[in-house]
Amino acid sequence: MTPAWTLISAFAAALIVLLLPARAAMASRVVALVASIIGAVAAGSACLAKLANPDAAPWSFDREWIPNLGSRFHLAADGLSLTLLFLTGITAIAGVLFSWNIEKRPRAFFAFFMTIIGGVYGVFLSRDAFLLFVFYEIVILPKYMLIAIWGSTNKEYGAMKLTMYSIGASSLILIGLVAAYAAAGATSFDIAHLAAATYPPAMQAWAFPVLFLGFAVLAGIWPFHTWAPTGHVAAPTAASMLLAGVVMKLGAFGALCVAMPLFPQGFEQYKALIAGLAVVGIIYGALTALSQKDLKFIIGYSSVSHMGFILLGLAAANHWGLRGAVLQMISHGIIAGLLFGIAGRVVYERTHTRDLTELGRFDLWKSLPGAALAFTLATAASMGLPGFSGFVAEISVIIGLWQVYPWLTIAVAAGIILTGVFSLRALYRAFFPEREAGAAPPPKLPPLTWPEISAMGLLLAVSIAIGIYPKPWVQLIDDGLRSPLFQSILSLP
């Protein structure tokens, strides 16, 4: 199976689900699940093929699309794209499994869900800036719908805020891309072509921050991060998972694969600022998470903190940093998906509260021991303990950072300690609460279902697999980083 099957299966599933008879809940779930599995298998088998035969030419698909603009329908998959496709596939499977019980308009839900997945696949595969932008925009509308229709807590506000930020950011991206297109001769939107062109330093100095910020907003860069926690909280579980798991990675991917290669000199001017904002984000996110009462807000702010590591890796702009950034994209995608899945689906749907004090009444470690175990492991992973993917990513970013801004590593280490503090606080108060002697016995909760168990198991297994043996993943990522696209960044002084 070629990587094209990721795109085809996702969009085909969205269509098929819409053609199903009304209220065909089970059928739409199954279609979405099968399509997600096809996508993950396609991406995974392409990864394995790449590992088995690293020198084979990457898969690509290049057809004329909008000749007047010079935009072509150009898809290609190197190792870096493949790992991100695989992450998307895994998150999609887990998302469908965690949404198994959706009864409210299931057809529409899964159609929107699969459209987002398809758009994300498209972004990771696009080698044409215009095509990339189109896929990028495809993601926005279904995202709004998922939150506004199936969301909870202040959902219209959260959905609107998220959409406003997304659209504002998109307009920045469009400005940046069009500027590059025009300056490069207005003949082609091909990313490699745009990156090969030389732009005057004065233009890079304004075009880089515009384009980078456009992408970075979606990656939750401080101080443009506030859409993320409110959006995550308002969103239904699967949408939180997709938002934190893959949609935020679109921003990071765009920053890495479009903004930085296009304007390397502009990047050079701003990288210290980016590193500074990333570190502020890491500590700020952790501190804010420390004083939240809503479990999803805690996870939302922890995402802001963890996304800081991605930006930090990008700002370090060396092999270790970029590799760490991509590893963190994957790792955070998996772990945030897991945390949101447990907090939003497994716990909230049974207790109907996410308030730490309220959750204390349920004695979750007794009434839902499986969820408590999974959340404990997810917390360990989120804290970056060795054996989980987060450690591999963080150590790579920090080794990279050490070579460029050694003093910042101290602040990052402080951020890691704070992450431990807020994570343990949340874990204890939500799952292992103190109980007064005479308190009423906890209410009985329905046991875990198979879709939940398999989704949690799947995500944990991937995180542990990366944490114990990162070599193949790093090999794939490095394959992508060898592309000529990044040489202008890696050769920076």
Sites of contact with other proteins (CB under 8 A): 160-161, 164, 223, 226, 284, 287-288, 290-292, 319-320, 323, 365, 380, 385-387, 391-392, 395, 398-399, 402-403, 406, 409-410, 413-414, 416-417, 420-421, 424-425, 428, 432, 434-435, 469-471, 474-475, 478
Q: Which is nearer to other proteins, 102 or 427 (CB)?
A: 427
- Least distance from C-beta 481 to other proteins, angstroms? 8
- Least distance from C-beta 475 to other proteins, angstroms? 7
Residue 60 parent element (H or E): strand 59-66
- Least distance from C-beta 446 to other proteins, angstroms? 19
Contact 66, 44 (CB under 8 A): no
Nearest to 271 by CA among 248, 255, 249: 255
- Least distance from C-beta 449 to other proteins, angstroms? 19
Q: Which is nearer to other proteins, 414 or 465 (CB)?
A: 414
- Least distance from C-beta 199 to other proteins, angstroms? 29
Dihedral sign (CA 111, 1, 257, 463): positive
- Least distance from C-beta 484 to other proteins, angstroms? 16
- Least distance from C-beta 133 to other proteins, angstroms? 24
Return the structure tokens found at 142. 């279904």
User: Can you list the pairs that 444-447 forms with residues at least 24 positions away whose Cβ atoms lie under 8 Å?
Assistant: 444/367, 445/350, 445/351, 445/362, 445/367, 445/368, 446/350, 447/368
- Least distance from C-beta 6 to other proteins, angstroms? 26
Q: Cα–Cα distance between 329 and 342 in angstroms, integer?
A: 20
Q: Which is nearer to other proteins, 274 or 327 (CB)?
A: 327
Instruction: Give the DSSP letter string of 281-338.
Output: HHHHHHHHHHT--BHHHHHHHHHHHHHHHHHHHHHH-SHHHHHHHHHHHHHHHHHHHH
* One-letter amino acid of 493: P
Q: Which is nearer to other proteins, 192 or 287 (CB)?
A: 287
Contact 203, 265 (CB under 8 A): no
Q: How many residues does the chain have?
A: 493
Q: Cα–Cα distance between 341 and 330 in angstroms, integer?
A: 16
Q: How far is CA 94 from CA 135, 255, 263, 371, 440, in A?
A: 22, 26, 37, 15, 35
Q: Which is nearer to other proteins, 55 or 103 (CB)?
A: 55
Q: Which is nearer to other proteins, 406 or 446 (CB)?
A: 406
Q: Which is nearer to other proteins, 64 or 156 (CB)?
A: 156
CB neighbourhood size of 188 (10 A) = 20
Q: Which is nearer to other proteins, 252 or 416 (CB)?
A: 416
DSSP state of 341: I
